[in-house]
Amino acid sequence: QVQLVESGGGLVQPGGSLRLSCAASGTIFSINAMGWYRQGPGKQRELVAIVKSGGNTNYADSVKGRFTISRDNAKNTVYLQMNSLKPEDTAVYYCNANVRRRSWVEFGTEYWGQGTQVTVSS
Q: Mind giving me the DSSP string for 50-92? A: EEETTS-EEE-TTTTTTEEEEEEGGGTEEEEEE-S--GGG-EE
Residue 95: phi and psi, rounded to 5, are: -80, 140
Q: In angstroms, how far is the first alpha carbon of the chain from the final one?
A: 40
Q: How do residues 86-106 score in pLDDT, each as one tens digit?
A: 999 999 999 999 999 999 988
Task: Specify whether the CB–CB gap between 18 and 91 falls below 8 A.
Answer: no
Banded model confidence at residue 53, pLDDT cuts 50, 70, 90:
confident
Instruction: Decide if 100 contacts 32 (C-beta within 8 A).
Output: yes
